[in-house]
Structure 1
Amino acid sequence: MSRRPKHDPKESEREILDAAEAFLRERPFRKMTVDAVMSRTGLKRPAFYVHFRDRHELALRVVEELGLELGAMIDRWLVGVDLAEDARSAFRGLAEVYAKHGPVLRALSEAAGSDDKVEAAYDALVQRFIDATTRRIADDQAAGLIRADIDVEETARALVWMDERYLTQAFSKEPHPEVQRVVDVLYNIWFSALYGGN
């Protein structure tokens, strides 16, 4: 790839982030090196250190970026007023993000098992979903839509981690299931658990 003498800092940062995601689509985080990432760009190695301290910080930025996409899906459920459609919309959005980034999310999930910094970032990402789900369950419980005897926090934790594992496994390899099929599965599980299948 040709080397460009000058580069807009935002463009070069974006190029490195895209190269890191491309790498993680194909190989595990433990194999990711600065040289391996930079070989996928038109930049020289020193450009990496203008934006990132090391590969761990780069991975954290990838988690952060994916978190923004996933966070937008949380809002679909939290801010809506139509219970069934809000849930379907949120699950559809989650499934679409995983369909787009599944191998990368799997690589980051696996990296969390061996890298403390990545683990903390990944756990924080999942915790955002747990917190949002806890709020929604508590609100719907207060409104009489969910049984009063359901343990709000632990139910939220169980459902969200189930989603994380299921979505990661479903979309990390080809061929993966149709998005609508995944949406229907998640919707049926959540509504059965929380609303008695209503």
Structure 2
Amino acid sequence: MAVAEGGARRRRRQPEDARREILDAATELLATVPAHEVTVAAIMGRTTLSRKSFYVYFRDRAELVAALVHPLRVEADAGLAQWAAAVEPVAAGRTALRAAAETYRRHGAILRVVFWAATGDPDIRRVRDDLTAAVVDVAVAKVEQASAGLADPRATAIALVTMNIHRLLALDAEATDTELDELVGTLSTIWERTLRL
């Protein structure tokens, strides 16, 4: 066995175990420090792996963030698919928004990194854009379906989705179900009044 930085013993492990250790360390770090402090060195300092091991499993921080976001994306896509297929947009929209609120409450630390770090990091910006593109596309279809006489359905959809995202990013893990329900009610009302549903 080799000795890692800080005196901890390194051991060989299965690639999926090593990758999981890096992802877990990054998740823990994201929950405790500002995004700019989540460096490769800081992440690897929380593992029993060498710093260079990071690059065996991830090309860069953006690829790591994309891997952290992937399970959230699966959750979000399920709710989004139901909203996209719904004939009755109001109830389905509220259900999709409630599911999104649950995701943001559980995974806010990771999502805040994606949205806030995207400003100065083009790789993370691509992760963010990938995360939001499908939501915007479904929202455009719903705005067009509402035929609210809006001059630019895409601009309206982007404004409404952006409002949702920024308000949901403010949720923390301690938010109660009642707080989630109130937030979903407020956002849904804004959507419904804008689209005259």
Name the TM tier (shorter chain). 0.7 to 0.9
Superposition deviation, residue 15 in structure 1: 2.5
Which of 12, 15, 18 lines up with 2:18 in the alignment?
A: 12
Give RMSD over aligned pairs. 2.5
State the shift of 1:174 in Å: 5.2
- How many angstroms does 1:80 deviate by? 2.4
Identify if the C-alpha distance between structure 1 residues 129 and 4 changes in structure 2 by more than 3 Å, giving closer, same or farther: same
1:101 equivalent to 2:102? Answer no
* Pairing of 1:8-157 with structure 2 (within 5 A): 8-138=14-144, 140-141=145-146, 146-157=147-158
Letter in 2 for 1:148: G
**Aligned equivalent of 2:182:** 181
2:69, 2:110 within 8 Å by CA — same for their partners in 1?
Answer: no
* 1:136/1:29 CA distance change after superposition, 3 Å: same
SS in 2 for 1:178: helix
Find the aligned partners of 1:72 and 1:22 in 2 and give their Cα distance.
Answer: 26
Runs of 5+ consecutive residues of structure 1 not aligned to the other structure: none
Alpha-carbon contact 2:98-2:180 (below 8 Å) kept: yes
Q: Deviations over 1:124-180 (max 9, x none)?
A: 322221112112222x24xxxx323452111101100111111112x1475577221
Residue 159 of structure 1 aligns with an amino acid whose one-letter code is L
| Counterpart AA for 1:47 | S
Q: Which amino acid aligns with 2:32?
A: E
1:114 positional shift:
1.1
SS at match of 2:31: helix
Q: Secondary structure at the match of 1:88?
A: helix
Q: Taking every aligned residue pair, what percent have the same amino acid on both sides?
A: 35
Asked if 2 retains the 8 angstrom alpha-carbon contact of 1:106 and 1:172, the reply is: no
Cα distance in 2, alignment partners of residues 188 and 149 from structure 1: 17
Q: Unpaired runs of 5+ in structure 2?
A: 1-6
Query: Do the aligned partners of residues 5 and 88 (structure 1) sit closer, same or farther apart at CA in structure 2, a change above 3 Å counting?
Result: same
Work out the CA distance in 2 between the residues paired with 1:128 and 1:25. Answer: 26
Q: How does 1:163-182 map to 2 (within 5 A)?
A: 163-169=164-170, 171-172=171-172, 178-182=179-183
**Aligned residue type for 1:96:** E
How many matched pairs?
190
